[in-house]
């Protein structure tokens, strides 16, 4: 239990990693294309990209689904960073698709929840194709660990700056970079039932993060340990490469 997080050292290494990725894998003017939700992950990932590439090479895409009550947070982020952006409303696209789907099969709750995330990722790749950009994956380690992401939705991307960092660590980086507190510490809500992520999970990210980093073995809470381990095992398919038949 000796793990220690150095926010200054990690942030510098993260910025350099993004810079190196683009130097080695893209043309000099290639842009980072990122979906801007107004939450901590997209805000901090965008800020890191600006530090690494400059604001002219980061392009934000706001993708409300109809009316988005908290879209002001997204506008605050792009204004704070000074990055170019577009607002592409996916509301009609989602509605049209779901109406067509209903003609053939009744959508499950899982389909209703995951489809907008996949349409958003399709939108990001379309924008990237138009601009000659690379799509930023904004998932963090904590959410990936328990499968709190949509396969081929927000779990997709061309490069992933935050996926080896817990929520606790991501928040520290956001504070270190000087982003507005209301962006870094905005309570994540699923947008469906009105509950926060932590309320839906039944445990806090702080508890999860300490377990991930080996700062606790949760021996005093075996039910929580079993729940986290079960969620992690059930969602490993989202993190691994697609299995393929090997023709020998």
pTM equals 0.94
Q: Please report which helix (H) or strand (E) contains residue 143, including its range.
A: helix 141-145
* Token pair belonging to 110: 């899982």
**What is the predicted pLDDT for the residue at 197?**
85
Domain 7-188, architecture per CATH: 3-Layer(aba) Sandwich (3.40)
* Per-residue pLDDT reduced to its tens digit, 22-74: 999 999 999 999 999 999 999 999 999 999 999 999 999 999 999 888 899 99
In the chain, what are the domain boundaries? 7-188
Between CA 93 and CA 72 the distance in angstroms is 22
Alpha helix segments (H runs only) across 132-221 = 141-145, 167-176, 181-184, 197-201, 205-212
* Per-residue pLDDT reduced to its tens digit, 182-198: 999 988 776 555 678 89
Residue 173: is its pLDDT beyond 80? yes
């Amino acid at each position: 239990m000796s793990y220690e997080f150095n926010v200054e050292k990690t942030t510098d290494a993260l910025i350099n990693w993004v810079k190196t990725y683009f130097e080695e894998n893209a043309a000099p003017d290639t842009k980072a294309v990122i979906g801007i939700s107004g939450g901590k992950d997209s805000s901090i990932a965008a800020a890191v990209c600006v530090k690494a590439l400059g604001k002219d090479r980061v392009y934000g895409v706001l993708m409300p689904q109809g009316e988005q009550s908290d879209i002001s947070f997204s506008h605050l982020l792009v204004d704070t960073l000074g990055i170019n952006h577009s607002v592409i409303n996916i509301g009609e696209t989602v509605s049209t698709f779901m109406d067509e789907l209903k003609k053939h099969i009744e959508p499950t709750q899982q389909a209703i929840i995951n489809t907008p995330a996949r349409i958003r990722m399709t939108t990001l790749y379309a924008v990237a194709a138009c601009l000659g950009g690379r799509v930023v994956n904004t998932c963090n380690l904590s959410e990936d660990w328990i499968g709190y992401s949509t396969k081929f939705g927000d779990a997709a991307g061309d490069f992933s700056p935050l996926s080896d960092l817990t929520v606790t660590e991501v928040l520290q980086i956001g504070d270190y970079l000087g982003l507005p507190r209301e962006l870094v510490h905005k309570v994540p809500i699923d947008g469906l039932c009105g509950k926060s992520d932590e309320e839906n999970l039944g445990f806090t990210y702080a508890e999860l993060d300490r377990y991930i980093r080996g700062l606790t073995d949760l021996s005093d809470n075996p039910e929580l340990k079993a729940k986290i381990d079960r969620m992690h095992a059930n969602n490993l398919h989202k993190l691994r490469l697609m299995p393929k038949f090997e023709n020998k």
